[in-house]
Amino acid sequence: MAQSINKKTLVTLKAAFAAFGVYFCMYGFRKPFTVASFEGLSYFGVDYKILIIIAQAVGYFISKFIGIKFISELKPEKRIVYLLMFIGVAELALLGFAAVPAPYNIVFMFINGIPLGMIWGIVFSYIEGRRTTEIIGLFLCSSFVVSSGFTKSAGKFIMDTFPVSEFWMPFCTGLIFIIPLVIFAFLLERIPQPTEEDIQLKNKREPLNRAERKELIRRFFVPVVCIIFLYVCLTVLRDFRDNFNREIWDGLHFKFDSSVFTLTEIPIAIMVLLILGFMVKVKNNKKAFDYYHYILFAGILTVGFSTYLFQNASLSPFMWMVISGFGMYICYIPFNGIYFDRMIAAFDIKGNVGFLIYTVDSFGYLGSVLILLYKNFGSAQTSWLNFYIHLNYIITAAVFILSVIAFLAFRKKAKPKSNSNQFINFDTSKIL
């Protein structure tokens, strides 16, 4: 028995380590450019940094729509090939961004976003449908909390230490992460498939054809629509904080070096891991699914309340960035897989997490593009800091309302059969 437990623990740790490593390294090809200011550059009446962020986000946006079909139908034997190929295309796009003069190099940031948008679905397909998916998923999700700050710190270190321009810095940073990413990718490929026990607890995960995808959306139409808009709001807040972290810190008049982008994110990752890690102990999928909504309510209220305290000088800038970031991430992280993993198990859904992730994620980056355009054309005189503060309040209200509606819709939908976690279909027109 002890040997069996040790073997299961070893598989879990190996999967968590490999998944974390792949996605951590992926950020080396995605986010370092955001630490550059590209000060004084603008084209077509739009700040150059906004243009390249939008270009990458549009690539992500398109990628997510492609991923609805691609990830939901992905065969296990093809995962490693596509993973490495997509990373290679992303790094070559960064080379094009460096070599081609502005503003023509903007198209390469768009190209960079398309393959990178597929990586999350590929990585999560390795770990979903397991007894320990939540704990592995948490380590995976914590990677983009820590990695975003770390890769920005790496990019700033490269510019401060070597004669590397803002345009060549993203490509040079990506080079550092290529070999580690390949190693982690092959470790991920070697983790065992889900066991019979895993399948009994979490359902077998299968590819979905077009008709099955449409039926799944029809069955959960109202709550899924609420989750889509809710996730758009969270993505807008997360992306704005991530992409304009440096400008927000500048507005706070807080003395900092390259380490601040990492130091604020480490306590966030630890707190999120500790709290969401307890969810793995909840065996009843229906209860666990309810608990995720309670966490969502508390997390988003933390964002609004901490912002209020900061404005009233009750929180220091550093503590505000940590606490508001924690509230945002504890809401955002579950929707990157573990929330839908429990949904599939609780409602006995045939399918896979990738389809649900990419359905909601496809709209998230559209929201990010629209908010950047509004900032440039509709609120250009507002500082990055004040714009971010207002965004915190608006999104707190929107997410709280949408999460309550989604929770009530799912609760109305949940009609248990006998003593199991099975649920019957429900007429969505009667939900609200």
What value does the mean pLDDT take over residues 199-208?
Answer: 68
Does residue 166 carry a pLDDT above 90?
A: yes
What's the pLDDT tens digit per position in 92-114?
A: 999 999 999 999 999 999 999 99
Q: Which has more pLDDT, 85 or 354?
A: 85
DSSP state of 190: T
Does residue 164 carry a pLDDT above 80?
A: yes
Measure the N-to-C terminal CA separation of the chain; round to a whole number of Å. Answer: 49
- Closest by CA position to 79, among listed 32, 20, 120, 131: 120
Where is mean pLDDT largest: 39-48, 89-98, 362-371? 89-98
- Residue pair 18/80 in contact by the 8 Å Cβ criterion: no
Using a cut of 0.85, tell me whether the model's pTM lies above it.
Answer: no
Where is mean pLDDT largest: 205-214, 321-330, 414-423? 321-330
Give the domain range for residue 336: 2-430
Instruction: Tell me how far apart the alpha carbons of residues 268 and 279 are, in angstroms, rounded to a whole number.
Output: 17
Inter-axis angle of helices 353-378 and 48-70, nearest 10:
160
pLDDT score recorded for residue 204: 66
Does residue 322 carry a pLDDT above 80?
A: yes
pLDDT score recorded for residue 430: 38
Q: Over the Cα atoms of the chain, what is R_g?
A: 21
What's the pLDDT tens digit per position in 7-24?
A: 777 888 889 899 999 999
Q: How would residue 347 be classed by pLDDT, with cut points 50, 70 and 90? A: confident
Does residue 197 carry a pLDDT above 80?
A: no
The CATH number linked to 129 is: 1.20.1250.20
Q: How many domains does the chain have?
A: 1
Instruction: Tell me how far apart the alpha carbons of residues 167 and 164 are, in angstroms, rounded to a whole number.
Output: 8
Q: How would residue 406 be classed by pLDDT, with cut points 50, 70 and 90? A: very high
- Closest by CA position to 220, among listed 415, 71, 409, 59: 409
Q: Which has more pLDDT, 327 or 129?
A: 327
pLDDT score recorded for residue 422: 39
Does residue 301 carry a pLDDT above 60?
A: yes
What's the pLDDT tens digit per position in 220-278?
A: 899 999 999 999 999 999 989 888 887 888 888 766 566 677 778 888 888 988 888 88
